[in-house]
Structure 1
Amino acid sequence: MATSSLSAILKKTTLDDHEQILEVSNKTLKSSKSDIEAQHVKVVALLKLDRYDEAVKFVEEAGDSLKKRAELEYAYALYKTGRLGDALEIASSLKGRGAQHLEAQSRYRLEDPSRTAELYKQLRSGNPESEDYDLRVNQIAINAQAEWLGVVDPRRTRRTEREDLATFETAYNVACGSIAKGEYAQAEFLLKRAEELCKQSEDLTDQQKADELVPIRAQQLYVLLCLGKTAEAEGLAAEIKLEETSDLSTRKITEVNKLLAASLLNPFVAHKTFHSTTTIPPEDKLFSYQSVPLDSDKFTLDLQAFKFQGIISSTLKIIQSTSASPISPDILLASFFNAAAHARNASGKTAIRSILPELEKRPNDVGLVLSLVQLYVLGGNITSAVELVESFFKRLEESMLESEQDIRFNPVLVSLLIALYKKRGQKALIKTELAKVAAFWRTRPNPPTSLLAAAGISLLKSQNEDDVKSAADIFSKLLEQLPNDKATIAGYVASHALNSGSPVATYVEKLTPTSELTRTVDVDGLESAGIPQSSNALAIAQSVQTKKRAAPDAGSAAHKRIRKSRLPKDYDKDKKPDPERWLPLKDRSYYRAPKGKKKGRRGGDDRTQGGAVNEDLNVESKSAPAPVAAGSGPGNKKKKGKGKK
């Protein structure tokens, strides 16, 4: 009876009269609380009125029967209240375009661009014309998100087309992709284009235009700050009217960017202003590439305001309480600022001494390790940085947890160790590390292509047959991911050249011919130039040539001015200098010994020790002293014995 009366009333109401529908459904439920039709109508009315919290609460209180009847509506209400994981779980189990749209939006908010792109590809394959534009806008947004997260799939890269610049939504999303890639000048142009198209749109009211212009100008402000155009950024910040937007997350980000444009010199005033900005509600969850910079700004201002203990306490809670990966952006950020707070804004050896005790407490804290490595490198102590990373990797290798093995072979951390090895010139260790990386990632799905390519190239240089075979396996796997990449094809051909069973010839045709590569090379000029020298040898030769001065011509040599302090006191420029002035005084020809001194031969020519003997002396021809006869000399008298006379 209640159901029939409700249906009759609904037939008389318009689709936009959601308040009246809600009122009727509530009256029906008063008389029959278990009326599933009235419950379903009430859920839809609440969603139409944007009362999502009430919708979730009502469905959960009504029980499983309503959850099963209104699964899609319940999932949508969960999505709007920020419970993205629960919404995704329900939407992925349902069928239909509505469920696919909801699953795609949930995955997009949960930062899963790969799976989201697959869902939108499915939606576009059975796409009604009415959804074509919306799907294209969403696809460009997914591409921008993949750029932000650094997980761009080369097989799904999409070039910007002319039609992407025809509307302000698509132009804005393309601009966001340029910002993610660091192409700020291109992003500045695209954002101006999006602003013009938004102002010229005939489909929007003045209020809607004002609401859409706020995020566009907020991105413009960010780009101007990145380009260093401070004056333009300050002028634009003054024009942005935040009261015209109802999106609290956009308002928060814009307020922070305006604070940065103002460049307040007093850190305490900046700290107070930052903490007085808009508070974002929990259901309006920011993306990680938005929340991480905001948290970084917050911790930076706390450091400048000397709130060290507060930073240590809050960052430690994040590190210990979260279930996220230790290499996730928010955990790394907390670790960095935790280290900075322990160092109390110090640097160098003082900071290292303050952070090392924390590393003993948390030996596998990636953020602490990276902070110490940076301090060692800035201080020029590359050896300690290498030893720190090696000991960290050794601890991870000894662990049996798969999650820690993933950290051990993380592309960023591996690249850090390889960069340190390059700094020290340890090529053998680089090869060993790349071989370990290749062995780990060859059996894993979605391996890092750049790291595997580097490992394959390193193994190709080896004379070991096993290394060449490993390189062949690596390039075979890479060819599946990047079938049109010429560097990958070249590596595949080089590694399979000796294997007669591999289809190398078909891939050689895809490479640029050698004749085309050498078309502009002057062979005769190369032959006449001779053997090329290494860059190091050329640098040394150039350095020697610049340091060496050519002898001046006798006629054109400029007179060199001699300082007066370097000249002797009795210097006379008209007097000829003594040619024997370089000899010791006693060896000069005009030297005469002072009176009272023992006279001897001058010049030292008669001194035979260590020199030539003077034959005029005739030493050997002179007779020796004659022997004295006994008792003939005065010294030969015998003394009388004692007591004798």
Structure 2
Amino acid sequence: MSKTLASLLKKSTLDDHDSFLQAADDALKASSNDTQAQQVKAVALVKLERYSDALKYFDENKGVEESLPEAYSYCLYRSGKFEQAVEAASAAQKSRGAQHITLQAAYRAEDWDAAVQAYNTLSSSTVAKEDFDLRVNKLAIDAEGLWLEKISKSAVPRAKTDDLAAFETAYNAACISVSKGQLGEADVLLKRAVSLCEHHEELSDEDKAVELVPLKAQRIFILQRIGKAEEAATLAKEVEASMKGAAVDARTRKIAESNVLTASTDITNPFMAHKMFNSSSIPKEERFFANQSAVLSSNERTVQMQSFKYDGLINAARRNLKGDALPSTSSDILLTSMFEAAALARGEVSKAAINKVLPELEKRPNDVGLVMTIVQLYILTGNATAAVDALHAFFVRLEKSTSEKDKDIRYSPGLVGLMISLYRSQNRRSQLKQELAKSATYWRTKSKAPSSLLRAAGIALLESSNLEDAQTASDIFDKLYEQEPDDHATIAGYVASHASSSDSNSTVQSLAEKLKPISDLTSTIDVDALESTGIPQSANALAIAQAGTSRKRKAGVPDDTSSKPKRIRKSRLPKDFDPNKKPDPERWLPLRDRSTYKPKKKKGRKDDRTQGGGNVNESLDISSRAEGVRSEVVTGKEGGGKGKKKGKGKK
């Protein structure tokens, strides 16, 4: 180390990074090529969290960048350049510090495979005081894997007792439960995390306020999802008050403000909500996760819609959407298209609104967002047939395409699931099975097939009596078993599809033993109670029976099942009602349908006359005429009388 730099550093303390920076600058003024002074300056800038200045200095001095790969990669990570941080950390000869940076940067970049690899490298060797940090990282990686659908729900176990000992692990365990859709369990874990943070002995009150913001903001989201709106609104006021004096980072603050705004019941003015949502700005280096970014973008456009900023949404969509990028399932492009359609319809749901959106679909026929919005509008207006036709036409266009990307979108699980739902709503069972079979046939040849889609197709085809469908189901579960050999649903489908095959009886038998026995599944069922209860009726049958009972009660019909006759109000009884006289059992039938009914004869007509009123001649043969019997002419009036004079002016 140079004498000048050494003498300056002797006057500084280890935490006095400003002094380090000043000493390095003074040394560089004397010798601009002082390598040690350059390194001290770079590290001091990183320690002072001046990451933009540090990156600029690294770029201007490539030798410093190469000599301090860990500091450089950490600076990239804190600047939001996660992909570059992973590459820079790999140049640090796989040091333990570089592996930690790789793990964090890969996790933030949503490069799940790289994050798992870095975690496995770190966990293969133990270092003192790293066990807790690695446990926190493992839970975070599992939660991200579930969000990205990289791993199945069954592959991630439930929270352990050790996870409930600290608020960091309890919070990450709650995030895993949210990823699995187990919101009730997530709420319990978050309550535990909040309690642990509030009673933490080593944290100051200021640090506790900062740590509690993301915990409570996440809980606001969960409370709204499980229908506890009042509790969410109360918690939102608490979070809003605690953020005013807390040094919360910009990304966490933005998410918390969005959740507070959606849960608040005090803000009824849409223009005020728009102002509050856009009150805080996000620095460029702050990057959200993909799912967070999509929700925030949706919230932003929602407040724009509520503020009647229709033209702004339409113009922004037409600037950003390009025909060569379509079709696309990118969340940003989908949201842009959907909100453009909503703005064109002026937020209305009607046939007129559909007519406003259809011309835009003609311009961009392969826009997934527009197609889905049109389908939704058709459903909301009660035209399910048109919804099926619109989605089917879109599928046909993609099937004719030669692009592999278009085919992947055509058979994407979301769109296939939408078509399946439409077919199910119209009870089109044959088309439903055909769609699932076609999708399964396409994905069976792919390396990364969506397991949820294949599983649904296999289950549907197992119900078919067609041998070809049974073979297709068998092939589907073969592929699923290769991908997820430990998934119980996959094992059950494999056993069911191969049970009749003689080639794999030993494999089927061994896999069947892994499933829970039927005796265990039925151990809690009371057979006698089921038999005494009888065959359960459908909801429709129960509704009809209840309606019939209600009508009988209104009509005063006694209930045969009740031991005590129901009292009838006197106002509902006829005036000549005699309680000792048995009522006519046919009184509910129309008069014509009763056994005592006798039609009344019309006045002026005799029994031997026809409808026209003339006498009926008993002998209408030629002989009667030969004997001189005359048929008299009838007037067509009843009784054969003369017709009455018509009133004046009447025709």
| Same fold, TM-score > 0.5, yes or no | yes
What SS class does the counterpart of residue 159 from structure 1 fall into?
coil
AA partner of residue 203 (structure 2): L
- State the Cα distance separating 1:562 from its structure 2 match: 9.3
What SS class does the counterpart of residue 587 from structure 1 fall into?
coil
AA partner of residue 265 (structure 1): T
Structure 2: gaps of 5 or more residues: 559-564, 577-595, 631-651
Decide whether the 8 Å contact of 2:70 with 2:89 is kept in 1. Answer: yes
> What is aligned with 2:268?
265
Q: How does 1:10-159 map to 2 (within 5 A)?
A: 14-63=13-62, 65-92=63-90, 94=92, 95-149=94-148, 151-154=150-153, 156-159=155-158
Decide whether the 8 Å contact of 1:113 with 1:143 is kept in 2. Answer: no
AA partner of residue 90 (structure 1): A
Whole-Å separation in 2 of the counterparts to 1:175 and 1:533: 39
Q: How does 1:162-181 map to 2 (within 5 A)?
A: 162-181=161-180
- State the Cα distance separating 1:175 from its structure 2 match: 3.0
| Alignment counterpart, residue 306 of structure 1, candidates 308, 327, 335 | 308
> What is aligned with 1:229?
230
Whole-Å separation in 2 of the counterparts to 1:430 and 1:4: 81
Q: Percent identity?
A: 42
> What is aligned with 1:628?
none
Whole-Å separation in 2 of the counterparts to 1:80 and 1:234: 29
Q: How does 1:418-567 map to 2 (within 5 A)?
A: 418-502=420-504, 503-514=507-518, 542=545, 561=574
| Alignment counterpart, residue 285 of structure 1, candidates 284, 287, 303 | 287
Decide whether the 8 Å contact of 1:217 with 1:240 is kept in 2. Answer: no
- With normalisation by structure 2, the TM-score equals 0.80
- State the Cα distance separating 1:359 from its structure 2 match: 0.9
- With normalisation by structure 1, the TM-score equals 0.80
AA partner of residue 271 (structure 1): H
Decide whether the 8 Å contact of 1:460 with 1:468 is kept in 2. Answer: yes
RMSD: 4.0
Decide whether the 8 Å contact of 2:326 with 2:367 is kept in 1. Answer: no
Whole-Å separation in 2 of the counterparts to 1:189 and 1:437: 39
Q: How does 1:361-372 map to 2 (within 5 A)?
A: 361-372=363-374
Decide whether the 8 Å contact of 1:214 with 1:242 is kept in 2. Answer: no
AA partner of residue 440 (structure 2): A
AA partner of residue 441 (structure 2): A
Determine which structure has more spread, i.e. the larger CA radius of gyration.
Answer: 1
What SS class does the counterpart of residue 130 from structure 2 fall into?
helix
1:202–1:18 Cα change, 3 Å: same
Number of aligned positions between the proteins: 593
AA partner of residue 165 (structure 1): L
Per-residue Cα deviation, 1:131-157 (whole angstroms, up to 9, x for no partner): 110111122223333444555434640
Whole-Å separation in 1 of the counterparts to 2:91 and 2:355: 54
AA partner of residue 78 (structure 2): K
Per-residue Cα deviation, 1:250-295 (whole angstroms, up to 9, x for no partner): 22233333434153222222223333x2211111112233332322
Whole-Å separation in 2 of the counterparts to 1:395 and 1:182: 35
Q: How does 1:391-402 map to 2 (within 5 A)?
A: 391-402=393-404
1:521–1:399 Cα change, 3 Å: same
Decide whether the 8 Å contact of 1:308 with 1:341 is kept in 2. Answer: yes
Decide whether the 8 Å contact of 1:59 with 1:67 is kept in 2. Answer: yes
> What is aligned with 2:637?
none
Whole-Å separation in 2 of the counterparts to 1:319 and 1:243: 41
Per-residue Cα deviation, 1:527-582 (whole angstroms, up to 9, x for no partner): 9999x7995996798589759969979x999985499xxxxxxxxxxxxxx99772
AA partner of residue 515 (structure 2): L
Whole-Å separation in 2 of the counterparts to 1:71 and 1:499: 59
- State the Cα distance separating 1:103 from its structure 2 match: 1.8
AA partner of residue 507 (structure 1): L
Decide whether the 8 Å contact of 1:326 with 1:365 is kept in 2. Answer: yes
What SS class does the counterpart of residue 129 from structure 1 fall into?
coil
Decide whether the 8 Å contact of 1:214 with 1:245 is kept in 2. Answer: no
1:435–1:269 Cα change, 3 Å: same
AA partner of residue 79 (structure 1): Y
AA partner of residue 257 (structure 2): E
- State the Cα distance separating 1:371 from its structure 2 match: 0.7
1:328–1:580 Cα change, 3 Å: closer
Structure 1: gaps of 5 or more residues: 564-577, 590-599, 626-645
Decide whether the 8 Å contact of 2:304 with 2:310 is kept in 1. Answer: yes
> What is aligned with 2:256?
254
Q: Which moved more, 1:142-151 or 1:352-361?
A: 142-151
What SS class does the counterpart of residue 485 from structure 2 fall into?
coil
> What is aligned with 2:582?
none
Whole-Å separation in 1 of the counterparts to 2:610 and 2:410: 84
Decide whether the 8 Å contact of 1:155 with 1:482 is kept in 2. Answer: no
| Pair 1:385-2:387 in alignment | yes
- State the Cα distance separating 1:497 from its structure 2 match: 3.0
Whole-Å separation in 2 of the counterparts to 1:58 and 1:104: 25
> What is aligned with 1:584?
602
1:219–1:287 Cα change, 3 Å: same
Decide whether the 8 Å contact of 1:347 with 1:375 is kept in 2. Answer: yes
Per-residue Cα deviation, 1:176-220 (whole angstroms, up to 9, x for no partner): 344455555444443333233223222222322232223333334
- State the Cα distance separating 1:369 from its structure 2 match: 0.8
AA partner of residue 370 (structure 1): M
Whole-Å separation in 2 of the counterparts to 1:323 and 1:110: 23
Whole-Å separation in 2 of the counterparts to 1:579 and 1:491: 66
What SS class does the counterpart of residue 344 from structure 1 fall into?
coil
Decide whether the 8 Å contact of 1:396 with 1:405 is kept in 2. Answer: yes
Whole-Å separation in 1 of the counterparts to 2:602 and 2:362: 69
